[in-house]
């Protein structure tokens, strides 16, 4: 799925285009207000130095320094944003090679790509609805890359979901109250934009390639479909998230044929987010500690029934638990966010009706490790998907666990272009003891238009 970075609301939707200056020379007071807003924005890691660079008039920047490949379109982007319309255009291209093991080494190299257009309509800025916002996310992609060749439980190349020219991934209305202390979202939602977020492992477009290092979807059903979410932000350090989603949602479908027909069932979510800042001599070290539980209404057969002459039993109302933690450990300077960060995830589902009972992942990221390469990022992560004992005993004793390791280095060529080489080693792809370990080489290019 597509990963998304911190935005204006309580969710982190996608990396939003940096703010541009207004036409004409702004007053000192106006610039100062903009700097304060950038520094104090919710979930923002923007420092004073970075804010000043973002407010530099684009006309003074060369093509290699501007934030977008196509520039400000002669001031059109800025003028639209001034009237409440903001958008971002992105393309990500992946190339994957399976060099060893997996399911099929025959012609095991593929290209895949995704394009995304993210559009925000701010009704408050338009003077129409205070606190109202519409977000629409059209996207498209081609190829499944080498995912089928590897045969892993997850996808070594996340978001390589086959050929689809265009569809709507998200279309939701957001209403904020009490200075964003209470926020409602309703519509066609992608649940991974609200749940299981992580600062260092949440975007296949900018961070890890592998699905299981982007999200905890081995345990959490991060569906895309009709739903509603409420965010409560009583303090700066606490967010409560409560939501529901169509339990029968299917990718590329509107959801009206499943949410309101036949067996109406809905997933339920509750998540608590704690935000911390650990003081250090080079500035605060931000961290996020998320703990959640989910309710799964779908009927599932107990693995210990329907075999050996036993009557099949179907259970409903399964419950799961998860956590997603990220913490900056070292900061080079108070002027920016270069340094070392760590992440950890864990999830649990009942093993009598789910073939995956436990999941965990962990890793680290260092931004600006090499001198003079301040925006480059080095990342390493590992995950393990562990089968339930009931599934092994009554269904498939060959299904045990899958463990993966991934190393990437993101090269910031320009503000609008990055190139990322990537290595993955997957132990027992598909969780099968009979499978041959897979070694995958990948490359990614990302362009912000």
Specify the pLDDT at position 50. Answer: 54
Rounded Cα–Cα distance for residues 71 and 424 (Å): 35
Does a structural domain hold residue 14?
Answer: no
| Cα dihedral 409, 89, 286, 381 sign | negative
**Maximal CA-CA distance, the chain:** 81
Q: Which residue has the higher pLDDT, 28 or 430?
A: 430
Does a structural domain hold residue 22?
Answer: no
Which residues form the domain of 88? 28-448
Residue 97 burial (10 A CB sphere; 0-12, 13-18, 19+): middle
Mean pLDDT of the chain: 87
Which of the four pLDDT bands, split at 50, 70 and 90, describes residue 211? very high
Does a structural domain hold residue 12?
Answer: no
- DSSP-derived letter for residue 262 is S
Does a structural domain hold residue 124?
Answer: yes
Which of the four pLDDT bands, split at 50, 70 and 90, describes residue 58? low
Does a structural domain hold residue 11?
Answer: no
pLDDT above 70 for 209 = yes
Which of the four pLDDT bands, split at 50, 70 and 90, describes residue 22? very low
In sequence order, what DSSP letters do the residues of 354-411 get, joined into one string? Answer: -SEEEEEEEEEEEES-STT-TT-EEEEEEEEEEE-HHHHHHT-TTB-EEEEEEEEEEE
pLDDT above 50 for 265 = yes
Residue 74 burial (10 A CB sphere; 0-12, 13-18, 19+): exposed
Rounded Cα–Cα distance for residues 394 and 323 (Å): 29
- DSSP-derived letter for residue 29 is H
| Cα dihedral 332, 409, 3, 209 sign | negative
Which of the four pLDDT bands, split at 50, 70 and 90, describes residue 74? confident
Which of the four pLDDT bands, split at 50, 70 and 90, describes residue 36? low
Specify the pLDDT at position 304. Answer: 87
Does a structural domain hold residue 17?
Answer: no
184 near 175, Cβ under 8 Å? Answer: yes
- DSSP-derived letter for residue 432 is B
Q: What whole-number percentage of the chain has pLDDT above 70? A: 85
**Beta strands 285-296; 266-278: pairing state:** antiparallel
Specify the pLDDT at position 308. Answer: 64
Look up the CATH number of the domain holding residue 69: 2.40.160.180
Please tell me the least confidently modeled range out of 8-12, 63-67, 196-200.
8-12
CA angle 419, 9, 359 (to 5 degrees): 60
pLDDT 10s digits, 414-447: 999 999 999 999 999 999 999 999 999 999 999 9
Q: What whole-number percentage of the chain has pLDDT above 90? A: 71
Which of the four pLDDT bands, split at 50, 70 and 90, describes residue 32? low
Specify the pLDDT at position 6. Answer: 34
Residue 260 burial (10 A CB sphere; 0-12, 13-18, 19+): exposed
Length of the chain: 449
In sequence order, what DSSP letters do the residues of 47-113 get, joined into one string? Answer: -HHHHHHHTS-GGGS-TTTSSSTTTTGGGHHHHHHHTTEEEEEEEEEEEEEEEE-SS--TT-EEEEE
State the average pLDDT over residues 130-150: 96
Does a structural domain hold residue 386?
Answer: yes
Specify the pLDDT at position 14. Answer: 38
In sequence order, what DSSP letters do the residues of 121-160 get, joined into one string? Answer: EETTTTTSSTTEEEEEEEEEEE--TTHHHHT-SS-SSTT-
Specify the pLDDT at position 246. Answer: 87
In sequence order, what DSSP letters do the residues of 197-221 get, joined into one string? Answer: --SSS--TTTS--SGGGT--TTTS-
Which of the four pLDDT bands, split at 50, 70 and 90, describes residue 37? low
pLDDT 10s digits, 175-205: 999 999 999 999 999 888 889 999 999 999 9
Q: Of the candidates 238, 290, 299, which has an alpha carbon nearest to the alpha carbon of residue 269?
A: 290
Does a structural domain hold residue 146?
Answer: yes
Which of the four pLDDT bands, split at 50, 70 and 90, describes residue 2? very low
Q: Three-state SS for 195?
A: coil
pLDDT 10s digits, 342-388: 999 999 999 999 999 999 999 999 999 999 999 999 999 999 999 99
pLDDT above 70 for 296 = yes
Specify the pLDDT at position 60. Answer: 61
pLDDT above 50 for 19 = no
Q: Of the candidates 83, 30, 61, 25, which has an alpha carbon nearest to the alpha carbon of residue 72?
A: 61
Q: How many domains does the chain have?
A: 1
Please tell me the least confidently modeled range out of 65-79, 102-116, 245-259, 264-278.
245-259
Quote helix, strand, coil % in the chain, to nearest 5.
10, 45, 45
């Amino acid at each position: 799925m597509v990963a998304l970075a911190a935005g204006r609301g309580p969710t982190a939707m996608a990396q939003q285009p940096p703010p541009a200056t207004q036409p004409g020379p702004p007053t000192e007071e106006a610039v100062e207000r903009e700097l304060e807003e950038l520094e104090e924005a919710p979930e923002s890691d923007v420092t004073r130095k970075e804010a000043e660079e973002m407010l530099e008039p684009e006309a003074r920047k060369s093509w290699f320094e501007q934030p977008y490949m196509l520039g400000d379109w002669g001031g059109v982007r800025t003028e639209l944003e001034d009237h409440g319309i903001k958008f971002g255009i992105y393309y990500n291209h992946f190339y994957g090679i399976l060099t060893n093991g997996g399911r099929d080494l025959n012609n095991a190299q593929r290209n895949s790509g995704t394009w995304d257009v993210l559009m925000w309509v701010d009704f408050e800025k338009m003077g129409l609805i205070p606190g109202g916002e519409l977000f629409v996310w059209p996207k498209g992609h081609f190829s499944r890359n080498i995912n089928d060749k590897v045969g892993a439980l997850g996808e070594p190349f996340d978001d390589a979901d086959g050929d689809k020219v265009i569809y709507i991934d998200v279309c939701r209305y957001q209403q904020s109250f009490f200075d964003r202390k209470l926020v409602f979202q309703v519509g066609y939602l992608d649940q991974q934009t609200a749940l299981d977020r992580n600062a260092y492992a949440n975007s296949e477009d900018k961070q890890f390639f592998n699905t299981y290092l982007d999200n905890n979807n081995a345990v959490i059903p991060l569906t895309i479909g009709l739903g509603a979410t409420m965010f409560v932000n009583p303090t700066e350090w606490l967010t409560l998230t409560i939501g529901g989603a169509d339990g029968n949602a299917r990718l590329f479908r509107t959801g009206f044929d499943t949410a309101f027909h036949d067996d109406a069932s809905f997933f339920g979510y509750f998540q608590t987010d704690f935000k911390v800042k650990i003081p250090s001599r080079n500035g605060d070290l931000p961290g996020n500690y998320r703990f959640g539980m989910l309710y799964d209404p779908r009927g599932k057969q107990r693995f210990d029934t329907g075999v050996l002459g036993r009557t099949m039993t179907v259970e409903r109302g399964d419950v799961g638990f998860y956590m997603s933690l990220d913490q900056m450990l070292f900061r080079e300077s108070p002027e920016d966010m270069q340094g070392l960060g760590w992440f950890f995830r864990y999830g649990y589902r009942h093993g009598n009706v789910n073939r995956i009972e436990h999941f965990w992942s962990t890793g680290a990221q260092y931004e600006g490790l090499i001198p003079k390469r301040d925006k480059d990022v080095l990342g390493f992560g590992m995950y393990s998907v562990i089968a339930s004992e009931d599934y092994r005993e009554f269904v498939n004793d060959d299904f045990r666990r899958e463990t993966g390791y991934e190393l990437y280095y993101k090269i910031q060529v320009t503000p609008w272009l990055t190139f990322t080489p990537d290595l993955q080693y997957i132990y027992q792809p598909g969780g099968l003891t009979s499978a041959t370990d897979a070694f995958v080489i990948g490359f990614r290019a990302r362009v912000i238009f």
